[in-house]
Amino acid sequence: KTLITTQGTTDIYNPKVVRCSMGAIQRAGIQVLHAKSDFVLRKMLRGYRIFATSLDGQVAPSELADKLTGKDAFVFGNEALGVSEEVLKVADHHVRIPMSPQVE
């Protein structure tokens, strides 16, 4: 398992991030890419399928269990901007994360 981040994202060594990872950060490979297009190119060339989160996503996380192959990359955008159009265009699947009715 590898965590890939792009420049400008939250510092993965921020104490709150480390605490929330519950130790997973110590078991995952970490890679920082310099551009989103660099990420897309690397994953596509290696044969990974890209699942990108989107408000218009056709697939819910609960529907993914039988679709995963082990060569899958998940792209999460930030709350304000989401995933870039560049990444959404090449993503194999757009995933929606439903919000609980109890959450504003």
pLDDT tens-digit readout, 11-46: 888 899 889 888 888 888 877 776 666 666 666 657
Looking at residues 91-97, what average pLDDT do you find? 88
Contact yes or no for 25/18 (Cβ under 8 A):
yes
Ordered structural domains, the chain, with CATH = 1-34 (no CATH), 47-104 (3.40.1280.10)
pTM above 0.75, yes or no: no
Tokens 């709150």 found at: 16
Please work out, in degrees rounded to the nearest 5, the angle formed at the alpha carbon of residue 81 by the alpha carbons of 35 and 59. Answer: 95
Tokens found for residue 12? 């993965």
Looking at residues 40-53, what average pLDDT do you find? 75
Kindly tell me if the per-residue pLDDT of 81 is higher than 80. Answer: yes
Q: Helix, strand or coil for residue 23?
A: coil
Mean pLDDT rounded to a whole number for the chain? 80
Q: Which residues pair with 103 in a beta bridge?
A: none
